[in-house]
Structure 1
Amino acid sequence: MHDLTSAPATDPTSIYRYRDCLYGADMVTAALSVDFFTWLSANPSSLAGICEHFGFTERPADTMMTLFAANDWVRNVGGVFHTTEVAREFMCAGPVWDVRPYFASLHDRPIARDFLEVLRTDKPAGWSGDKAAFDWHKAMEQEDFARKFTAAMDCRGVLLSQALAKKLDLTGRSCVLDIGAGSGVYACAITAQHQHMRGVAFDQAPVDRIAGKLIEERGCADRVSVATGNMFEGMPAGCDVHLFSNVLHDWGVPEVKKLLAVSHAALHVGGLLIIHDAFINADKTGPLHTAEYSCLLMHATQGKCYSTSEYAEMLDEAGFTPGDYHDTIIARGFMTAIRR
């Protein structure tokens, strides 16, 4: 039984980055396959203009441009994207240093081809590029996939949850609702670190049954219970803290706004909302690790990594007063907000 208040002795960021950033290279390859930088160099453009010219849609195109800005290949000046000197020297037709032929042999990589389709349709590709697979959200309703994916996220969650729990100020709070909880490891870690707290792991079937078993195996069942339901339809009452940990990044803006509205309806005035995730900075120029990770999310889900400014705007609109952003570990962090 692992102590959920413990921390590793070494830094695993470089290891996690291989997984998080796996699809970043394919996004670059996809863009080079349509000679994106040559066109943009001659035609500085807004995001809307880029979408119009290439037939791209907004969510994936925004993810792409955030990746390029994080690499300093483009700069956003007053809403218009311009190529930088390094992009003009190495990624455009003409200069002797042009790398486009070097990438050309990779244009037919399945994930690179997927990115062009996602950019044009805004529809996620199959999980891990499997065309025959369910949409990720539907796949989570299947017992076998749900069990494997929950195990994968629990493995990561053991590290991330204790780092989050140690940085939270939960003075005067009593119960955390872990929304879209997966294994429930975040509720377990928070109640282990803040022993005056109890927790509720809230998820749909069959994930709820998986969570219940793991919570019991961790010896946390006396402090963390399980609730079953659809988070878009309503949330259990009686908790004064709501946690969205690595949940909102799976959804598009309309769904994120819906989830924040449902949370607002379930919390009392003064209730605390915590968003724990990988965040893009306010001006959408990085960090690079997160911009690369966002490509994976854009490919496989309906979402992406949102910026702190995007979250602040959506929180305010939903009736919350946004707080500051705080780093935790391996390019993750959290924002808090108070229910008005």
Structure 2
Amino acid sequence: MSPSVGPVTLMELTSGVYAFKALAMATELDVFTELSNGGRTTTTTFADRHRIALRPAELLLTACTALGLLRRDAEGFYSNTQMSEEYLVRGRPYYFGDWVMVVDRHEYPAYLKLADSLRGNHPATWDVELQESLFDPAVAEYFWEGMYSLSANTARLLADAFDFRAINRLLDVGGGGAAFGIELCRRYFDLQVTVFDLPFVCDLTRPRIARAGLEGRIGLAGGDFFADTLPTGHDALLLSNILHDWDEADVLRIIRVCADAIPPGGRLLICESFVADDKAGPPLAALMSFNMLVETWGRNYTAAEYSTWLSEAGLHPEGVTAFEGPGANGVLIARKP
């Protein structure tokens, strides 16, 4: 029997929950922030600082070391690895801990009700009887910070994958948080961006744009793309991690609304985790698609499916430029004739 086919492989899949909860616990305790800038700790010091016994302290530190989140030297001191120092220290530009907390507090509990979502075909991370959608002010406390973590790291890759120098004005549809707008404006100095999102999301986004010093280049337009006409006067429109939240009929509806707002010769950019056309992967896109079972009524779609809908909306698909990001694996470009 091949080593890749058997109970060890299944055990590795099963132990994913152990790995995630070790990361989440260490993130919640701010372990990596405590050890930033060359900080070190022993098991005893760590236990004393967090008022826990030596045994759980050692188990957590050992797990984080095995996962490549910490390193342990010959004297028994623990310190951050390069990955943790860059992405898990609070306050760093591309801090990823907020997304870890979203998964831990928002998504992880929903998986205890996964069977209900599977059999009932409805989300579990929010109350479908009391809330209109996942994008409700009730989840604003930590959800939007987490989404920014995911989006900012993805936006940097989009800036590399697509040349925005030919675009003067970009409309970021559903771009609340302005992660894509901020990263793209930092890379392309002549780019002007308008973020279109729900009014309460615009209110949450305004301070972040100000902190980035980009009030003169990133504007906000409040509205609902299911009810309102999109602002015009933009060379291109961006849909970044928006369409996977909706079912097929709504995806086509959103694409049509966007197509109406694009000028002749303008482009629509769809930045998503595309499932392969044969539905065989890739794993991260397929698993994030599965995650929509507890989150929304959507899923991750294939490039072929998007191309069909784009054509129905009168746009010409020009193919996908692939990249490997935490929140997307490529960008599909379509042009309006």
Specify the TM-score bucket, using the shorter chain as the normaliser: 0.5 to 0.7
Aligned to 2:305: 310
CA distance in 2, matches of 1:174, 1:282: 33
Structure 2 match to 1:124: 123
CA distance in 2, matches of 1:332, 1:147: 28
How far residue 277 of structure 1 moved from its aligned partner, in angstroms, is 1.3
Shift of 1:133: 8.6
Say if 1:215 and 1:268 are closer, same or farther in 2 by CA, change over 3 A: same
In 1, Cα distance between the equivalents of 2:237 and 2:331? 13
Q: Name the residue aligned to 1:320.
A: 315
* Structure 2 residue identity aligned to 1:197: L
Listed one character per residue, the Cα deviations across residues 236-282 of structure 1 (whole Å, up to 9, x for unaligned) are 11111100111111000111001000001111111111111111011
Distance 1:286 1:132, change over 3 A: closer
How do residues 226-265 of structure 1 correspond to structure 2 at under 5 angstroms?
A: 226-233=220-227, 234-265=229-260
Aligned residue in 1 for 2:331: 334
> Whole-Å Cα distance in 2 between the matches of residues 184 and 247 of structure 1?
13
Structure 1 residue 111 corresponds to structure 2 residue 106: no
Q: Report the TM-score when normalising by structure 2.
A: 0.64
- Asked if 2 retains the 8 angstrom alpha-carbon contact of 1:124 and 1:301, the reply is yes
Aligned to 1:93: none
Give the Cα–Cα distance (whole angstroms) in 2 for the partners of residues 110 and 310 of structure 1: 28
Matched residue, 1:169: 163
Deviation of residue 298 (structure 1)?
A: 2.2
Asked whether 1:148 is paired with 2:145, we answer: no
Residue 195 (structure 2) aligns with: 201
Task: Please say if residues 147 and 210 of structure 1, whose CA atoms lie closer than 8 Å, have aligned partners that are also in contact.
Answer: no
Deviation for aligned residue 1:110? 6.8
- Look up the match of 2:216: 222
Q: CA deviation at 1:117?
A: 3.1
Shift of 1:123: 2.1
Deviation at 1:139, TM superposition (A): 4.9
Report the CA distance shift for 1:146/1:205 in structure 2 as closer, same or farther (over 3 A): farther
Please give the alpha-carbon distance, in whole angstroms, between the structure 2 residues aligned to 1:280 and 1:306: 6
1:43-82 pair list within 5 angstroms: none
SS at match of 1:325: strand
Per-residue displacement from partner, 1:166-216 (whole Å, max 9, x unpaired)?
Answer: 221224321111111120110121122122210001110210111111111
Number of the residue aligned with 1:267: 262
Is the Cα–Cα contact under 8 Å of residues 172 and 237 in structure 2 kept in the other structure?
Answer: yes
CA distance in 2, matches of 1:198, 1:255: 28
Q: Contact 2:165 / 2:191 at 8 angstroms: preserved in 1?
A: no
* Aligned partner of residue 324 in structure 1, secondary structure: strand
Between the aligned partners of 2:110 and 2:257, the Cα distance in structure 1 is 38
The offset of 1:300, in angstroms, is 1.1
Q: Which among 184, 193, 200 is matched to residue 178 of structure 2?
A: 184
Quick one: distance in 1 between partners of 2:143 and 2:130? 13
Number of residue pairs the alignment of both structures matches: 238
Which residue in the other structure is 1:212 paired with?
206
Task: Report the equivalent of 2:274.
Answer: 279
CA contact (8 A) 1:141 1:205 kept: no
Q: Residue 307 and residue 203 in structure 1: after superposition, are their counterparts in 2 closer, same or farther (change >3 A)?
A: same
Report the Cα distance in structure 2 between the residues aligned to 1:154 and 1:335, rounded to whole angstroms. 21
Q: Aligned with 1:138: secondary structure?
A: coil
Distance 1:199 1:132, change over 3 A: closer
Of all paired residues, the percent bearing the same amino acid is: 26
Which structure 1 segments of 5+ residues have no match?
A: 1-8, 27-108
Deviations 1:133-188 (A, max 9, x none): 954x535332x522421111111222111111122122432111111112011012
